[in-house]
Structure 1
Amino acid sequence: MLDFTLCNELLAGEGKSLGEQAHIAAQLGFCGLELDPATLGETPHALSDARIARIRGEIEAEGVRVTGLHWLLSSYAGASITDPAGQDRARDILLGMVDLCAGLGGTVLVHGSPKQRLRPEGLDDAALISHLAEFFAPIAAAAERRGVTYCIEPLSRAEDRTINTVGQGVDLVCAIGSAAFRTMIDISAAGQTEAPVADLIRHWVPSGMIGHIHANDTNRGAPGMGDDPFPQIVAALVETGWDRPIGVEPFRTLIDASVTAATGIATLKACERAAA
Protein backbone atom coordinates (compact mmCIF):
# COMPACT_ATOMS: atom_id res chain seq x y z
CA MET A 1 0.00 0.00 0.00
CA LEU A 2 1.41 3.38 -1.02
CA ASP A 3 1.94 6.15 1.52
CA PHE A 4 1.48 9.83 0.66
CA THR A 5 2.93 12.89 2.37
CA LEU A 6 1.80 16.47 1.83
CA CYS A 7 4.12 19.34 0.93
CA ASN A 8 3.08 22.08 3.32
CA GLU A 9 3.70 25.42 1.63
CA LEU A 10 0.19 26.00 0.25
CA LEU A 11 -1.37 25.42 3.67
CA ALA A 12 1.28 27.60 5.31
CA GLY A 13 0.60 30.29 2.73
CA GLU A 14 -3.00 30.43 3.93
CA GLY A 15 -1.76 31.20 7.44
CA LYS A 16 -2.38 27.79 8.97
CA SER A 17 -0.18 26.78 11.89
CA LEU A 18 1.93 23.63 11.78
CA GLY A 19 -0.60 21.93 14.05
CA GLU A 20 -3.44 22.89 11.71
CA GLN A 21 -1.46 21.72 8.69
CA ALA A 22 -0.76 18.39 10.37
CA HIS A 23 -4.41 17.99 11.39
CA ILE A 24 -5.60 18.57 7.82
CA ALA A 25 -3.02 16.12 6.48
CA ALA A 26 -4.10 13.47 8.98
CA GLN A 27 -7.80 13.97 8.24
CA LEU A 28 -7.17 13.52 4.52
CA GLY A 29 -5.17 10.32 4.95
CA PHE A 30 -1.61 11.57 4.48
CA CYS A 31 1.09 9.91 6.59
CA GLY A 32 2.95 13.15 7.13
CA LEU A 33 4.15 16.57 6.03
CA GLU A 34 7.08 17.31 3.77
CA LEU A 35 8.19 20.74 4.94
CA ASP A 36 9.39 23.79 3.08
CA PRO A 37 11.98 25.08 5.59
CA ALA A 38 11.02 28.69 4.81
CA THR A 39 7.70 28.02 6.57
CA LEU A 40 9.64 27.47 9.82
CA GLY A 41 11.31 30.89 10.00
CA GLU A 42 13.96 33.08 8.39
CA THR A 43 16.95 30.85 9.19
CA PRO A 44 15.56 27.33 9.55
CA HIS A 45 18.99 25.71 9.12
CA ALA A 46 20.03 27.30 12.43
CA LEU A 47 17.03 26.39 14.61
CA SER A 48 17.85 25.28 18.13
CA ASP A 49 17.40 21.67 19.20
CA ALA A 50 14.61 22.80 21.54
CA ARG A 51 12.73 24.55 18.73
CA ILE A 52 13.15 21.53 16.44
CA ALA A 53 11.76 19.28 19.16
CA ARG A 54 8.73 21.57 19.60
CA ILE A 55 8.01 21.56 15.86
CA ARG A 56 8.27 17.80 15.73
CA GLY A 57 6.02 17.41 18.74
CA GLU A 58 3.38 19.77 17.34
CA ILE A 59 3.14 17.75 14.14
CA GLU A 60 3.32 14.30 15.69
CA ALA A 61 0.58 15.25 18.18
CA GLU A 62 -1.83 15.16 15.22
CA GLY A 63 -0.92 11.57 14.34
CA VAL A 64 1.36 12.31 11.38
CA ARG A 65 5.11 12.89 11.08
CA VAL A 66 7.67 14.99 9.25
CA THR A 67 8.81 12.88 6.30
CA GLY A 68 11.39 15.30 4.90
CA LEU A 69 12.31 18.73 3.55
CA HIS A 70 12.27 20.39 0.12
CA TRP A 71 12.94 23.90 -1.35
CA LEU A 72 16.12 23.83 0.72
CA LEU A 73 17.74 27.05 -0.52
CA SER A 74 14.83 28.95 -2.05
CA SER A 75 14.63 31.57 0.69
CA TYR A 76 18.37 32.23 0.96
CA ALA A 77 19.54 35.15 -1.18
CA GLY A 78 23.17 34.88 -2.25
CA ALA A 79 23.47 31.14 -1.71
CA SER A 80 24.44 29.03 -4.72
CA ILE A 81 25.69 25.51 -5.37
CA THR A 82 27.26 26.57 -8.69
CA ASP A 83 28.57 30.11 -8.15
CA PRO A 84 31.84 30.07 -6.16
CA ALA A 85 30.83 33.34 -4.49
CA GLY A 86 27.83 31.66 -2.86
CA GLN A 87 29.03 28.10 -2.35
CA ASP A 88 30.41 28.37 1.17
CA ARG A 89 27.17 29.91 2.38
CA ALA A 90 25.10 27.30 0.54
CA ARG A 91 27.15 24.42 1.97
CA ASP A 92 26.80 25.70 5.53
CA ILE A 93 23.03 26.07 5.07
CA LEU A 94 22.64 22.61 3.58
CA LEU A 95 24.67 20.97 6.35
CA GLY A 96 22.27 22.66 8.76
CA MET A 97 19.32 21.37 6.74
CA VAL A 98 20.62 17.80 7.08
CA ASP A 99 20.65 18.22 10.85
CA LEU A 100 17.21 19.86 10.78
CA CYS A 101 15.70 17.01 8.78
CA ALA A 102 17.15 14.36 11.06
CA GLY A 103 16.09 16.26 14.17
CA LEU A 104 12.52 16.50 12.91
CA GLY A 105 12.43 12.77 12.25
CA GLY A 106 12.50 13.17 8.47
CA THR A 107 14.30 10.79 6.16
CA VAL A 108 14.71 12.67 2.86
CA LEU A 109 15.88 16.08 1.64
CA VAL A 110 14.92 17.21 -1.87
CA HIS A 111 17.27 19.66 -3.56
CA GLY A 112 15.46 21.67 -6.22
CA SER A 113 15.87 25.43 -5.61
CA PRO A 114 16.48 26.43 -9.26
CA LYS A 115 17.56 30.02 -8.64
CA GLN A 116 20.39 28.81 -6.42
CA ARG A 117 21.79 26.36 -9.01
CA LEU A 118 22.12 28.34 -12.24
CA ARG A 119 24.55 26.72 -14.65
CA PRO A 120 27.76 28.69 -15.16
CA GLU A 121 28.46 29.80 -18.72
CA GLY A 122 30.84 27.59 -20.65
CA LEU A 123 30.71 24.58 -18.30
CA ASP A 124 30.18 21.34 -20.24
CA ASP A 125 28.28 18.38 -18.80
CA ALA A 126 31.33 16.50 -17.50
CA ALA A 127 32.78 19.58 -15.83
CA LEU A 128 29.40 20.41 -14.32
CA ILE A 129 29.05 16.97 -12.75
CA SER A 130 32.59 17.19 -11.36
CA HIS A 131 31.87 20.67 -9.98
CA LEU A 132 28.65 19.52 -8.27
CA ALA A 133 30.20 16.31 -6.94
CA GLU A 134 32.92 18.28 -5.18
CA PHE A 135 30.33 20.61 -3.68
CA PHE A 136 27.97 17.89 -2.48
CA ALA A 137 30.55 15.37 -1.16
CA PRO A 138 30.60 16.74 2.44
CA ILE A 139 26.81 17.11 2.44
CA ALA A 140 26.40 13.49 1.35
CA ALA A 141 28.80 12.43 4.11
CA ALA A 142 26.75 14.38 6.67
CA ALA A 143 23.52 12.81 5.39
CA GLU A 144 25.05 9.37 5.76
CA ARG A 145 26.07 10.12 9.36
CA ARG A 146 22.57 11.36 10.22
CA GLY A 147 20.73 8.50 8.51
CA VAL A 148 18.88 10.59 5.91
CA THR A 149 18.84 10.54 2.11
CA TYR A 150 19.77 13.66 0.14
CA CYS A 151 18.23 13.84 -3.35
CA ILE A 152 19.21 16.04 -6.26
CA GLU A 153 15.99 16.91 -8.10
CA PRO A 154 15.93 17.01 -11.90
CA LEU A 155 13.95 20.10 -12.89
CA SER A 156 12.39 21.09 -16.20
CA ARG A 157 14.45 23.17 -18.60
CA ALA A 158 12.01 26.01 -18.03
CA GLU A 159 13.30 26.18 -14.44
CA ASP A 160 17.04 25.58 -14.81
CA ARG A 161 19.71 24.09 -17.07
CA THR A 162 21.77 22.24 -14.50
CA ILE A 163 20.17 18.82 -13.79
CA ASN A 164 17.17 18.20 -16.05
CA THR A 165 16.93 14.42 -16.49
CA VAL A 166 17.02 11.46 -14.17
CA GLY A 167 20.04 10.20 -16.11
CA GLN A 168 21.93 13.40 -15.29
CA GLY A 169 20.95 12.99 -11.66
CA VAL A 170 22.25 9.43 -11.72
CA ASP A 171 25.55 10.64 -13.19
CA LEU A 172 25.93 12.93 -10.16
CA VAL A 173 24.96 10.13 -7.77
CA CYS A 174 27.64 7.89 -9.29
CA ALA A 175 30.25 10.65 -9.14
CA ILE A 176 29.62 11.17 -5.41
CA GLY A 177 29.44 7.47 -4.56
CA SER A 178 27.50 7.74 -1.29
CA ALA A 179 24.56 5.54 -0.33
CA ALA A 180 22.97 8.63 1.23
CA PHE A 181 22.94 10.67 -2.01
CA ARG A 182 20.35 9.84 -4.66
CA THR A 183 18.27 11.46 -7.36
CA MET A 184 14.46 11.51 -7.65
CA ILE A 185 11.49 11.80 -9.99
CA ASP A 186 9.31 14.89 -9.91
CA ILE A 187 6.33 13.86 -12.03
CA SER A 188 5.60 17.41 -13.20
CA ALA A 189 9.19 18.12 -14.28
CA ALA A 190 9.68 14.66 -15.76
CA GLY A 191 6.39 14.92 -17.65
CA GLN A 192 7.69 18.08 -19.30
CA THR A 193 11.16 16.71 -20.00
CA GLU A 194 11.19 12.94 -20.51
CA ALA A 195 7.67 11.51 -20.64
CA PRO A 196 6.17 8.95 -20.39
CA VAL A 197 6.80 9.06 -16.66
CA ALA A 198 5.50 5.51 -16.10
CA ASP A 199 8.31 4.17 -18.29
CA LEU A 200 10.82 6.36 -16.44
CA ILE A 201 9.66 4.84 -13.14
CA ARG A 202 9.89 1.28 -14.48
CA HIS A 203 13.41 1.93 -15.76
CA TRP A 204 14.93 3.76 -12.79
CA VAL A 205 13.18 2.64 -9.59
CA PRO A 206 14.61 -0.92 -9.75
CA SER A 207 18.12 0.56 -10.10
CA GLY A 208 18.06 1.87 -6.52
CA MET A 209 19.06 5.34 -7.69
CA ILE A 210 15.69 6.96 -6.90
CA GLY A 211 15.34 8.31 -3.37
CA HIS A 212 12.01 10.12 -3.63
CA ILE A 213 8.94 10.76 -5.79
CA HIS A 214 6.96 14.00 -6.09
CA ALA A 215 3.41 13.65 -7.42
CA ASN A 216 2.13 16.66 -9.31
CA ASP A 217 0.69 17.40 -12.74
CA THR A 218 2.64 19.04 -15.54
CA ASN A 219 0.19 21.94 -15.23
CA ARG A 220 1.63 22.48 -11.70
CA GLY A 221 -1.55 21.35 -9.95
CA ALA A 222 -2.15 18.32 -7.77
CA PRO A 223 -2.83 14.91 -9.31
CA GLY A 224 -6.37 15.08 -10.68
CA MET A 225 -6.14 18.76 -11.61
CA GLY A 226 -4.78 18.12 -15.10
CA ASP A 227 -4.40 15.53 -17.81
CA ASP A 228 -1.32 13.57 -16.76
CA PRO A 229 -1.83 9.76 -16.92
CA PHE A 230 -1.75 9.05 -13.20
CA PRO A 231 -3.39 5.61 -13.53
CA GLN A 232 -0.36 4.44 -15.52
CA ILE A 233 2.10 6.31 -13.29
CA VAL A 234 0.70 4.86 -10.07
CA ALA A 235 0.53 1.40 -11.63
CA ALA A 236 4.25 1.67 -12.38
CA LEU A 237 4.97 2.61 -8.77
CA VAL A 238 2.96 -0.37 -7.55
CA GLU A 239 4.64 -2.73 -10.03
CA THR A 240 8.14 -1.63 -9.03
CA GLY A 241 7.40 -2.01 -5.31
CA TRP A 242 7.86 1.63 -4.33
CA ASP A 243 7.75 1.65 -0.52
CA ARG A 244 8.54 5.23 0.60
CA PRO A 245 6.19 8.17 1.10
CA ILE A 246 5.26 9.96 -2.12
CA GLY A 247 5.20 13.73 -1.79
CA VAL A 248 2.09 15.47 -3.12
CA GLU A 249 3.48 18.84 -4.26
CA PRO A 250 1.00 21.16 -6.01
CA PHE A 251 2.03 24.71 -6.81
CA ARG A 252 -1.47 26.11 -7.41
CA THR A 253 -4.81 25.58 -5.75
CA LEU A 254 -8.22 24.24 -6.66
CA ILE A 255 -10.53 26.41 -4.47
CA ASP A 256 -8.04 26.32 -1.56
CA ALA A 257 -5.08 24.35 -0.25
CA SER A 258 -7.20 21.78 1.61
CA VAL A 259 -9.35 20.98 -1.42
CA THR A 260 -6.22 20.78 -3.54
CA ALA A 261 -4.63 18.29 -1.14
CA ALA A 262 -7.84 16.27 -0.98
CA THR A 263 -8.02 16.12 -4.77
CA GLY A 264 -4.42 14.94 -5.00
CA ILE A 265 -4.61 12.12 -2.49
CA ALA A 266 -8.07 10.97 -3.66
CA THR A 267 -6.79 10.72 -7.23
CA LEU A 268 -3.69 8.79 -6.24
CA LYS A 269 -5.61 6.38 -4.00
CA ALA A 270 -8.19 5.74 -6.72
CA CYS A 271 -5.38 4.98 -9.15
CA GLU A 272 -3.80 2.62 -6.62
CA ARG A 273 -7.09 0.75 -6.15
CA ALA A 274 -7.41 0.39 -9.91
CA ALA A 275 -3.87 -0.99 -10.13
CA ALA A 276 -4.43 -3.61 -7.41
Structure 2
Amino acid sequence: MSRLAISNIAWPPDQRRPALALLAELGVGGLEVAPGLLFPGEVDPFAPSEAVLRATLGEVEAHGLTFVSMQSLHFAAPDAALFGGPEARRRFADTIVRAADLAARLGSPNLVVGSPRNRVVPEDMPAETARRIALDVFRALGDQAATRGCRLALEPNPRDYGTNFLNLTSEVRDFVREADHPAVALNFDIGALSLNGEAEADAALFASARDLVSHVHLSRPHLAAVEAEDASVGRALAMLDEAGWRSWVSIEMRATAPDPLAAVRHAISYCLSRMGAPSHAR
Protein backbone atom coordinates (compact mmCIF):
# COMPACT_ATOMS: atom_id res chain seq x y z
CA MET A 1 0.00 0.00 0.00
CA SER A 2 1.16 3.55 -0.73
CA ARG A 3 2.26 5.90 2.04
CA LEU A 4 0.12 9.01 2.43
CA ALA A 5 1.47 12.57 2.59
CA ILE A 6 -0.13 15.97 2.10
CA SER A 7 1.15 19.32 0.86
CA ASN A 8 1.08 22.35 3.15
CA ILE A 9 -0.61 24.40 0.43
CA ALA A 10 -3.84 22.90 1.87
CA TRP A 11 -3.87 25.29 4.84
CA PRO A 12 -2.74 28.87 5.54
CA PRO A 13 0.56 29.28 7.43
CA ASP A 14 -1.17 30.55 10.58
CA GLN A 15 -2.97 27.21 10.90
CA ARG A 16 0.16 25.06 10.73
CA ARG A 17 0.09 23.85 14.31
CA PRO A 18 -3.50 22.57 14.29
CA ALA A 19 -2.89 21.17 10.79
CA LEU A 20 0.12 19.14 11.95
CA ALA A 21 -1.85 17.93 14.97
CA LEU A 22 -4.63 16.82 12.63
CA LEU A 23 -2.18 14.90 10.45
CA ALA A 24 -0.79 13.14 13.52
CA GLU A 25 -4.32 12.31 14.72
CA LEU A 26 -5.21 10.76 11.35
CA GLY A 27 -1.93 8.86 10.99
CA VAL A 28 -0.48 10.74 8.02
CA GLY A 29 3.29 10.27 7.90
CA GLY A 30 4.53 12.53 5.11
CA LEU A 31 4.63 16.28 4.54
CA GLU A 32 5.20 18.04 1.23
CA VAL A 33 6.02 21.72 1.49
CA ALA A 34 6.04 24.97 -0.42
CA PRO A 35 8.94 26.94 1.11
CA GLY A 36 7.07 30.25 1.11
CA LEU A 37 4.32 28.71 3.25
CA LEU A 38 6.68 26.76 5.50
CA PHE A 39 8.78 29.83 6.37
CA PRO A 40 6.42 32.76 5.80
CA GLY A 41 8.19 35.03 8.26
CA GLU A 42 11.64 34.65 6.74
CA VAL A 43 13.02 37.24 4.33
CA ASP A 44 14.22 34.37 2.14
CA PRO A 45 12.17 31.20 2.67
CA PHE A 46 14.84 29.18 0.82
CA ALA A 47 17.41 30.20 3.42
CA PRO A 48 15.72 30.21 6.83
CA SER A 49 17.79 30.96 9.90
CA GLU A 50 19.18 28.00 11.82
CA ALA A 51 16.94 28.80 14.78
CA VAL A 52 13.78 28.85 12.66
CA LEU A 53 14.86 25.73 10.79
CA ARG A 54 15.54 23.80 14.01
CA ALA A 55 12.22 24.87 15.51
CA THR A 56 10.35 23.80 12.37
CA LEU A 57 12.15 20.46 12.15
CA GLY A 58 11.38 19.82 15.82
CA GLU A 59 7.71 20.65 15.37
CA VAL A 60 7.34 18.41 12.33
CA GLU A 61 9.21 15.52 13.94
CA ALA A 62 7.16 15.86 17.15
CA HIS A 63 4.07 15.07 15.10
CA GLY A 64 5.65 11.97 13.59
CA LEU A 65 6.00 13.54 10.16
CA THR A 66 8.73 13.27 7.53
CA PHE A 67 9.51 15.81 4.81
CA VAL A 68 8.97 13.86 1.59
CA SER A 69 8.83 16.50 -1.15
CA MET A 70 9.01 20.20 -1.98
CA GLN A 71 7.00 22.18 -4.54
CA SER A 72 6.24 25.76 -5.69
CA LEU A 73 9.93 26.32 -6.39
CA HIS A 74 9.52 29.33 -8.69
CA PHE A 75 6.45 30.83 -7.03
CA ALA A 76 8.28 34.05 -6.12
CA ALA A 77 10.55 34.11 -9.18
CA PRO A 78 8.42 35.36 -12.09
CA ASP A 79 11.51 36.66 -13.92
CA ALA A 80 13.11 33.20 -14.03
CA ALA A 81 12.59 31.53 -17.41
CA LEU A 82 13.90 28.24 -18.73
CA PHE A 83 13.65 29.52 -22.31
CA GLY A 84 14.51 33.17 -21.67
CA GLY A 85 17.80 34.92 -22.15
CA PRO A 86 20.98 33.84 -20.33
CA GLU A 87 20.16 35.82 -17.16
CA ALA A 88 16.56 34.57 -16.95
CA ARG A 89 17.75 30.99 -17.54
CA ARG A 90 20.41 31.37 -14.85
CA ARG A 91 17.74 32.55 -12.39
CA PHE A 92 15.59 29.54 -13.31
CA ALA A 93 18.45 27.15 -12.55
CA ASP A 94 19.69 29.02 -9.47
CA THR A 95 16.23 28.89 -7.90
CA ILE A 96 16.18 25.11 -8.24
CA VAL A 97 19.69 24.80 -6.80
CA ARG A 98 18.66 26.92 -3.82
CA ALA A 99 15.58 24.74 -3.37
CA ALA A 100 17.84 21.68 -3.42
CA ASP A 101 19.99 23.30 -0.72
CA LEU A 102 16.89 23.71 1.45
CA ALA A 103 15.75 20.16 0.66
CA ALA A 104 19.09 18.89 1.94
CA ARG A 105 18.63 20.82 5.20
CA LEU A 106 15.12 19.41 5.61
CA GLY A 107 16.07 15.89 4.56
CA SER A 108 13.54 15.97 1.73
CA PRO A 109 14.43 13.59 -1.14
CA ASN A 110 12.19 15.06 -3.83
CA LEU A 111 11.69 18.40 -5.61
CA VAL A 112 8.63 18.77 -7.83
CA VAL A 113 9.44 21.01 -10.80
CA GLY A 114 6.16 22.37 -12.11
CA SER A 115 6.48 26.13 -12.65
CA PRO A 116 4.30 26.31 -15.77
CA ARG A 117 4.77 30.02 -16.50
CA ASN A 118 8.52 29.78 -16.04
CA ARG A 119 8.85 27.23 -18.83
CA VAL A 120 6.89 28.74 -21.70
CA VAL A 121 8.59 28.24 -25.06
CA PRO A 122 8.62 31.51 -27.07
CA GLU A 123 6.68 31.39 -30.32
CA ASP A 124 9.82 32.01 -32.38
CA MET A 125 11.87 29.24 -30.75
CA PRO A 126 12.01 25.94 -32.69
CA ALA A 127 10.81 22.94 -30.70
CA GLU A 128 14.12 21.13 -31.10
CA THR A 129 16.04 24.14 -29.78
CA ALA A 130 13.79 24.28 -26.73
CA ARG A 131 14.21 20.57 -26.09
CA ARG A 132 17.99 20.80 -26.36
CA ILE A 133 18.08 23.72 -23.92
CA ALA A 134 15.84 21.90 -21.45
CA LEU A 135 17.86 18.69 -21.63
CA ASP A 136 21.11 20.56 -21.03
CA VAL A 137 19.66 22.53 -18.11
CA PHE A 138 18.05 19.57 -16.37
CA ARG A 139 21.02 17.29 -16.78
CA ALA A 140 23.18 19.94 -15.12
CA LEU A 141 20.56 20.49 -12.42
CA GLY A 142 20.36 16.74 -11.92
CA ASP A 143 24.06 16.78 -11.05
CA GLN A 144 23.41 19.53 -8.50
CA ALA A 145 20.43 17.71 -6.99
CA ALA A 146 22.31 14.43 -6.72
CA THR A 147 25.08 16.00 -4.65
CA ARG A 148 22.39 17.19 -2.22
CA GLY A 149 20.69 13.80 -1.94
CA CYS A 150 17.49 14.63 -3.82
CA ARG A 151 15.82 14.16 -7.19
CA LEU A 152 14.05 16.57 -9.53
CA ALA A 153 10.57 15.34 -10.37
CA LEU A 154 9.37 17.01 -13.57
CA GLU A 155 5.65 17.57 -13.53
CA PRO A 156 3.30 17.58 -16.52
CA ASN A 157 1.52 20.94 -16.61
CA PRO A 158 -1.60 21.04 -18.82
CA ARG A 159 -2.06 23.95 -21.19
CA ASP A 160 -4.82 25.18 -18.87
CA TYR A 161 -2.03 26.07 -16.41
CA GLY A 162 -0.39 28.48 -18.82
CA THR A 163 2.47 26.63 -20.48
CA ASN A 164 3.23 24.96 -23.79
CA PHE A 165 6.12 22.69 -22.74
CA LEU A 166 5.78 19.16 -21.35
CA ASN A 167 2.01 19.29 -21.03
CA LEU A 168 1.25 15.56 -21.19
CA THR A 169 2.40 12.85 -18.83
CA SER A 170 3.61 10.89 -21.84
CA GLU A 171 5.70 13.91 -22.95
CA VAL A 172 7.37 14.19 -19.54
CA ARG A 173 8.00 10.44 -19.53
CA ASP A 174 9.74 10.63 -22.90
CA PHE A 175 11.74 13.71 -21.89
CA VAL A 176 12.94 12.17 -18.63
CA ARG A 177 13.91 8.99 -20.42
CA GLU A 178 15.91 11.02 -22.95
CA ALA A 179 17.57 13.05 -20.17
CA ASP A 180 18.75 9.71 -18.77
CA HIS A 181 19.90 11.11 -15.43
CA PRO A 182 19.39 9.28 -12.11
CA ALA A 183 18.38 12.51 -10.36
CA VAL A 184 15.85 13.60 -13.02
CA ALA A 185 12.52 11.87 -12.51
CA LEU A 186 8.78 12.18 -13.20
CA ASN A 187 6.05 13.45 -10.90
CA PHE A 188 2.89 11.43 -11.66
CA ASP A 189 0.05 13.92 -11.24
CA ILE A 190 -3.57 12.75 -11.13
CA GLY A 191 -5.08 16.18 -11.78
CA ALA A 192 -2.94 16.60 -14.88
CA LEU A 193 -4.13 13.23 -16.15
CA SER A 194 -7.74 14.42 -15.83
CA LEU A 195 -7.16 17.78 -17.53
CA ASN A 196 -5.14 16.22 -20.33
CA GLY A 197 -7.67 13.48 -21.06
CA GLU A 198 -5.13 10.83 -20.06
CA ALA A 199 -7.02 9.42 -17.06
CA GLU A 200 -8.48 6.44 -18.91
CA ALA A 201 -4.93 5.32 -19.76
CA ASP A 202 -3.58 5.88 -16.24
CA ALA A 203 -2.55 2.27 -15.63
CA ALA A 204 -0.74 1.98 -18.98
CA LEU A 205 0.96 5.36 -18.52
CA PHE A 206 2.09 4.49 -15.02
CA ALA A 207 3.41 1.11 -16.13
CA SER A 208 5.33 2.72 -19.00
CA ALA A 209 6.94 5.26 -16.66
CA ARG A 210 7.17 3.28 -13.42
CA ASP A 211 10.97 3.24 -13.36
CA LEU A 212 11.04 7.04 -13.78
CA VAL A 213 8.42 8.03 -11.16
CA SER A 214 9.75 9.45 -7.88
CA HIS A 215 6.54 10.95 -6.48
CA VAL A 216 2.76 10.94 -7.00
CA HIS A 217 0.36 13.86 -6.56
CA LEU A 218 -3.21 13.03 -5.58
CA SER A 219 -4.81 16.11 -7.08
CA ARG A 220 -7.82 17.35 -8.97
CA PRO A 221 -7.80 19.87 -11.82
CA HIS A 222 -6.80 23.36 -10.68
CA LEU A 223 -5.96 21.92 -7.24
CA ALA A 224 -9.59 21.71 -6.16
CA ALA A 225 -10.25 20.00 -2.84
CA VAL A 226 -9.96 16.22 -2.88
CA GLU A 227 -13.36 14.81 -2.02
CA ALA A 228 -15.40 11.65 -2.38
CA GLU A 229 -17.80 13.32 -4.79
CA ASP A 230 -15.04 13.20 -7.44
CA ALA A 231 -13.90 9.60 -7.73
CA SER A 232 -10.78 10.31 -9.83
CA VAL A 233 -8.41 10.22 -6.85
CA GLY A 234 -10.00 7.03 -5.52
CA ARG A 235 -9.63 5.35 -8.90
CA ALA A 236 -6.00 6.45 -9.06
CA LEU A 237 -5.28 5.03 -5.60
CA ALA A 238 -6.77 1.69 -6.62
CA MET A 239 -4.64 1.72 -9.77
CA LEU A 240 -1.48 2.49 -7.81
CA ASP A 241 -2.22 -0.25 -5.32
CA GLU A 242 -2.81 -2.75 -8.10
CA ALA A 243 0.49 -1.66 -9.68
CA GLY A 244 2.28 -2.32 -6.40
CA TRP A 245 3.31 1.30 -5.69
CA ARG A 246 4.63 1.41 -2.12
CA SER A 247 6.16 4.88 -1.97
CA TRP A 248 4.69 8.28 -1.15
CA VAL A 249 1.50 9.69 -2.61
CA SER A 250 0.80 13.29 -1.66
CA ILE A 251 -2.57 15.04 -1.48
CA GLU A 252 -2.18 18.32 -3.36
CA MET A 253 -5.04 20.78 -2.95
CA ARG A 254 -5.40 24.48 -2.29
CA ALA A 255 -6.67 25.78 1.07
CA THR A 256 -10.46 25.66 0.98
CA ALA A 257 -12.54 28.41 2.58
CA PRO A 258 -14.15 28.81 5.03
CA ASP A 259 -12.67 25.86 6.94
CA PRO A 260 -9.47 24.50 5.34
CA LEU A 261 -8.79 21.99 8.11
CA ALA A 262 -12.24 20.46 7.73
CA ALA A 263 -11.46 20.01 4.02
CA VAL A 264 -8.07 18.48 4.94
CA ARG A 265 -9.74 16.03 7.32
CA HIS A 266 -12.24 15.04 4.65
CA ALA A 267 -9.55 14.58 1.98
CA ILE A 268 -7.29 12.48 4.21
CA SER A 269 -10.15 10.33 5.46
CA TYR A 270 -11.32 9.70 1.93
CA CYS A 271 -7.85 8.79 0.65
CA LEU A 272 -7.18 6.46 3.59
CA SER A 273 -10.50 4.74 2.95
CA ARG A 274 -9.52 4.09 -0.67
CA MET A 275 -5.92 3.03 -0.12
CA GLY A 276 -5.70 -0.69 -0.65
CA ALA A 277 -9.19 -0.77 -2.16
CA PRO A 278 -9.82 -3.59 -4.68
CA SER A 279 -9.38 -2.75 -8.34
CA HIS A 280 -13.05 -3.42 -9.09
CA ALA A 281 -13.79 -0.26 -7.05
CA ARG A 282 -12.44 1.71 -9.98
TM-score by length of structure 2 reads 0.87
One-letter amino acid of the structure 2 residue matched with residue 229 of structure 1: S
RMSD of aligned residue pairs (Cα, Å): 2.2
Q: Summarize deviations over 1:211-267 as a string: whole Å, max 9, x none.
A: 211112236323326534333321110011112211101125264221221222222
Bigger RCO (CA 8 Å, 6+ sep): 2
- The whole-number CA distance in structure 2 between the counterparts of 1:147 and 1:247 is 20
Q: Secondary structure at the match of 1:16?
A: helix
Q: Of 6, 15, 24, which aligns to 2:22?
A: 24
Q: Secondary structure at the match of 2:11?
A: helix
Instruction: Describe how 1:15-54 pairs up with structure 2 within 5 A.
Output: 15-17=14-16, 19-39=17-37, 40=39, 41-49=42-50, 51-54=52-55
Identity of counterpart residues, as a percentage?
23
Q: Secondary structure at the match of 1:78?
A: coil
What's the counterpart of residue 218 of structure 1? 221
What's the counterpart of residue 174 of structure 2? 171
Q: Secondary structure at the match of 1:4?
A: strand
1:190 partnered with 2:189: no
What's the counterpart of residue 247 of structure 2? 244
- The whole-number CA distance in structure 2 between the counterparts of 1:262 and 1:271 is 14
Q: Of 122, 128, 134, which aligns to 2:124?
A: 122
One-letter amino acid of the structure 2 residue matched with residue 121 of structure 1: E
What's the counterpart of residue 86 of structure 1? 88
- CA shift, 1:42, in A, is 4.2
Equivalent residue pairs, number: 273
What's the counterpart of residue 148 of structure 1? 150
Conserved in 1, the CA contact under 8 Å of 2:237 and 2:276?
Answer: no
Q: Secondary structure at the match of 2:277?
A: helix
Conserved in 1, the CA contact under 8 Å of 2:219 and 2:233?
Answer: no
What's the counterpart of residue 64 of structure 1? 65
1:8 partnered with 2:8: yes
Q: Secondary structure at the match of 1:45?
A: coil
- The whole-number CA distance in structure 1 between the counterparts of 2:188 and 2:36 is 22
Q: Which runs of 5+ in 1 are unaligned?
A: none
Q: Summarize deviations over 1:71-125 as a string: whole Å, max 9, x none.
A: 1111123122221241112212211111211210111110112222222223343
One-letter amino acid of the structure 1 residue matched with residue 202 of structure 2: L
Against the structure 1 CA distance between its residues 138 and 48, is the aligned structure 2 distance closer, same or farther, given a 3 Å change threshold? farther
Q: Summarize deviations over 1:161-212 as a string: whole Å, max 9, x none.
A: 1111122212321332211111122111211103325x32443346311121
One-letter amino acid of the structure 2 residue matched with residue 260 of structure 1: A
One-letter amino acid of the structure 2 residue matched with residue 28 of structure 1: L
Conserved in 2, the CA contact under 8 Å of 1:80 and 1:117?
Answer: yes
One-letter amino acid of the structure 1 residue matched with residue 15 of structure 2: K
One-letter amino acid of the structure 2 residue matched with residue 16 of structure 1: Q
Q: Secondary structure at the match of 2:12?
A: helix
Q: Of 110, 113, 118, which aligns to 1:111?
A: 113
Instruction: Describe how 1:254-269 pairs up with structure 2 within 5 A.
Output: 255-269=258-272
TM-score by length of structure 1 reads 0.89
1:209 partnered with 2:212: yes
